[in-house]
Amino acid sequence: MSVPTEPKQVYERPRYALSSVDHALRIIQILRDTGGARLSDIARELDVSPSTAHRLLAMLVYRDFAIQDESRAYVPGPSMGAAPSPFPWTRRLKQLLGPHLDLLAARLDETVSLMFRTGTRIRVLMTVEGGQLLRVGDRTGLVQDARLAAGGKAILADLDPAFLERLFRSQSAKFAGTYLPDAEFRRLTTTLEETRQRGYALNHEETEPGVHVLGMSLHDAGGGPLAALAVLVPSSRAEVLEDETTLAMVREARTDMDLEIGAAGLEA
């Protein structure tokens, strides 16, 4: 009796392959497998001009799949190592809160984002840009350290202290490379306490030069932190984030979003 075998995967180039997409994916593979490369290396590997390679790399940097180190070489960015989301509710959350983000962005005329936490990082699920000429652009898909991002701080501030200990001080944290020494953990808990007392988190160029962010946590049907709302502005308008009118509008939007999430029964 013959033993059934799994069908073999046939790797064939698509008939209508898009060269720019193929080149971008090849760069991701090169950075993943070599740990980093210079612009000239990428251009030579792809057999494209340096200007073409630069445009491709600029998009990968924008989407956080690549960053430049101190020597100006390109290395894998945070998005490269991000595992698939373990949460089944992210698409539903985006559908529910999209209209609220649109409304808040229109009212503030500033860029707003929706994000959620996975481990010690946050991922930007959706961005709606403001209408001003000088504005923060789309950050959808960005992966950032939750300790630095305003939305991440807002979520962490709402977590149980024992859970924070497990995230940053446990044996598992050591294995994962997210363990914080005593002094760093004390600084984090101080920052989170300030966030709780203030009612919102701030990020003054901690994750990106020239960008200031306000973050508020969003809560699931049981009252626990599910996600976060963030308002992003250029440094020239940083004072907008602590303006009472801005805060009132963001708080109102947060309340409406929490009600929407609760009515849908979403839970972390």
DSSP 160: -
Residues 129 and 259 in one domain: yes
pLDDT in tens, 192-250: 999 999 999 999 999 999 999 999 999 998 899 999 999 999 999 999 999 999 999 99
pLDDT in tens, 9-39: 555 555 555 788 888 888 888 888 788 889 9
pLDDT at 5 over 60: no
Residues in the chain: 268
The residue range of the domain holding 60 is 19-81
CB atoms inside a 10 Å sphere around CB 131? 11
8 Å CB contact between 112 and 104? yes
Domain assignment present for 60: yes
Count of domains observed in the chain = 2
Residues 134 and 160 in one domain: yes
Query: Shortest CA distance to 135 belongs to which of 210, 192, 191?
Result: 210
Residues 99 and 191 in one domain: yes
pLDDT in tens, 29-67: 888 878 888 999 899 988 999 999 999 998 888 888 888
Residues 73 and 105 in one domain: no
Mean pLDDT score across all residues of the chain: 89
Residues 72 and 144 in one domain: no
Residues 48 and 142 in one domain: no
Q: Which of 11 and 185 is assigned the larger pLDDT?
A: 185
Instruction: Return the pLDDT at 183.
Output: 96
Share of the chain above pLDDT 70, in %: 93
CB atoms inside a 10 Å sphere around CB 78? 15
Residues 145 and 223 in one domain: yes
Instruction: Return the pLDDT at 33.
Output: 79
Residues 50 and 95 in one domain: no
Domain boundary among 81, 99, 125: 81
pLDDT in tens, 126-156: 999 999 999 999 988 888 999 999 999 999 9
Instruction: Return the pLDDT at 268.
Output: 78
Residues 37 and 152 in one domain: no
8 Å CB contact between 195 and 153? yes
Give the per-residue SS3 of 32-43. HHHCCECHHHHH
Domain boundary among 81, 99, 120: 81
Residues 26 and 112 in one domain: no
